[in-house]
Structures are given as C-alpha cells and as structure tokens.
Amino acid sequence: MPTCIATSHPSVQAIVKGLRRLGGRLLRSWQSRLDGRIVRVNGPQGLAFNWISNSRYPEAMSRGDYEHDFARALLRVLRPGDTFFDVGANAGYFSLLAKLRVGTGTVVAFEPLPENIRMIRAVEAVNPNVTFDLVEGAVGAYDGEISFEVTKNNANGRLTGVTWVLAKPAIQQVVVRCVHLLPFLQKYRPAVVKLDTEGAEFTILSSLGSPSEWKGLPIFLIEFHGQENTDRCSGVLRNWGYQLFPAASCSETREIPDQYVMAVPSTRGEN
C-alpha cells in the first residue's frame, strides 16, 4: 500500500516552497531573455498594439489580457473623443488601451518613477501613431516635491507615509515631483479618471475641493487599498453625489481588501 505523506509536514512544505522559488527564478530567467522584443498584441475589444517584452512587468501585458476585467470596464465607459487620466500609469498599459479607444481624444498619464517613465516612452516609440501626454510626477495634495517610497515591484511604489495592510516594503526613498490634480481637472475636463496610487487615493480625492470647481464630473475608476481607505474614499465620493459600483476584481483572493470601484455621478447612473 502506498505511503501517504502529509503535505503539512514542515519538511514537505520546505520542499514545496523551494520548488516554487526555483520555478519562479526559471520563469524570470526565461522572460528576461525576451526583454526588448517587440510583440504584436491583440488586446481586449479587438484593439491591437505593439508592446515591448520586459521581465520587470507582468507577462500578461505582452499577451493583452492584463487585468482583463478592469480593462473591459475601462473600455466600456470610454468613448471616441473622450479625455482620460491615468493616475499611477506604471508601464502605460491602460494609457495605451485608452488612447486606442478615444482616438482623437486626449490621454494624460501621471507617473513618478523613472523606470516606468522610460517604459512608457518606449511603448510610445513602438506605437508611433498612438501618443499621449505624460506628466512625470506623483499626484498628491499640492504642487511641489514629495518623498516617494520605491518597492521591489515597480507597480507598488507609494507616497511616503501612506500605508495599508498589504503594502509592500520600501527598498528606497526618493524625492519626486508632486502634482495637484485639481488644475488638470479644470484644464482638461476628463470624462474618465483612473486612480491607482497604492493607498494615496483618499489623500488625492480629499484635496480636490468641491466638484463645482472642476468644470465637469468625470467617472472615477479607483483601486482602493485597504478597508479604511475604501471607507474614507467612498464617503468623499458619496458626499460629492457619486454612486459606487463594483468595476472589477483584480485580486487573486476575494478576501484581500483591494478592489476597483466605478464612481459615477448620480445624474448619469451606471453605463
């Protein structure tokens, strides 16, 4: 009779963890060999574009199915000619999708990290007919400079002092440009604003004053980080007269307090 080995045994768990680490290293090694390769991607809703393979970013971006539920929600609310803000643009994946969707409309990407800025510029270069405005800075509560915490994963950087239960440890602190979103809202009057700032969402929203100052009421697509941040942001949005709808779940487990919400002006309702 075969012997059953309990997977809860410490030695078995150690072996499993070791195999996972080895598998991860082999995968990253294989991906790094493809770095710099230009790939043609068939994205959601038939949107085709060029992408640059880079092991520092999720492979799903090269396949066109990165956070596909959220991508579908974004493309559902954008219309040709719209203006879109990508606050926390990372590699520019959603900025690129949005520009393909809005056509002659305007896309403004906000990103503070030099590594991500270089990637955005490279993505623009291999899509010469698709351009968008890039603001090199972190969105905060004022204009000036601000301390920013860099993490190992270039998608998890955040304003210094901002934290939440699953915040990744910082490996470095740098000083970056800080930009206030209100003047941009007044100048561009965006139709849709994506906000993914690793816990700084309340800091940003609470600095925007009254919607009467904005010269327009955009739809917000916000990734909340942590239950406290979710509650505080939801309170601000509802006080402004917004209705909140679940946009997409981008977490591997539903228990993680990390979710995208679509905030729609109550005069408009969910599209």
* Angle separating helix axes 93-102 and 68-77, nearest 10 degrees: 30
pLDDT in tens, 67-120: 988 999 999 999 999 999 999 999 999 999 999 999 999 999 999 999 999 999
Percentage of residues of the chain with pLDDT beyond 70: 83
> How many whole angstroms separate alpha carbon 222 and alpha carbon 153?
20
Helix runs in the chain, H state only = 10-33, 59-63, 68-77, 93-102, 114-125, 181-188, 201-205, 227-239
> How many whole angstroms separate alpha carbon 73 and alpha carbon 116?
24
What is the pLDDT at residue 257? Answer: 41
Given a cut of 60, whether residue 5 has pLDDT beyond it is no
At 16, is the pLDDT very low, low, confident or very high (cuts 50, 70, 90)? low
Torsion sign, CA atoms 29, 114, 229, 161: positive
At 33, is the pLDDT very low, low, confident or very high (cuts 50, 70, 90)? low
Closest Cα to residue 112, out of 168, 173, 185? 173
> How many whole angstroms separate alpha carbon 108 and alpha carbon 133?
5
pLDDT in tens, 239-261: 999 999 988 654 444 433 447 89
> Is residue 233 within 8 Å of residue 39, measured between CB atoms?
no
What is the pLDDT at residue 26? Answer: 54
Residues 6+ apart with CB under 8 A from 49: 40, 41, 43, 96, 97, 100, 127, 130
> How many whole angstroms separate alpha carbon 246 and alpha carbon 20?
33
With tokens 């520019």, the residue in question is: 92
What is the pLDDT at residue 23? Answer: 58
pLDDT in tens, 157-166: 999 999 888 8
A 10 A CB-CB count for 29 gives 10
Render the burial of 228-239: b for 16+ CB within 10 Å, e for the rest.
Answer: ebbebbbeebee
> How many whole angstroms separate alpha carbon 58 and alpha carbon 236?
32
- Our measurement of the distance from residue 8's CA atom to the centroid of its chain's CA atoms, rounded to an integer in Å, reads 36
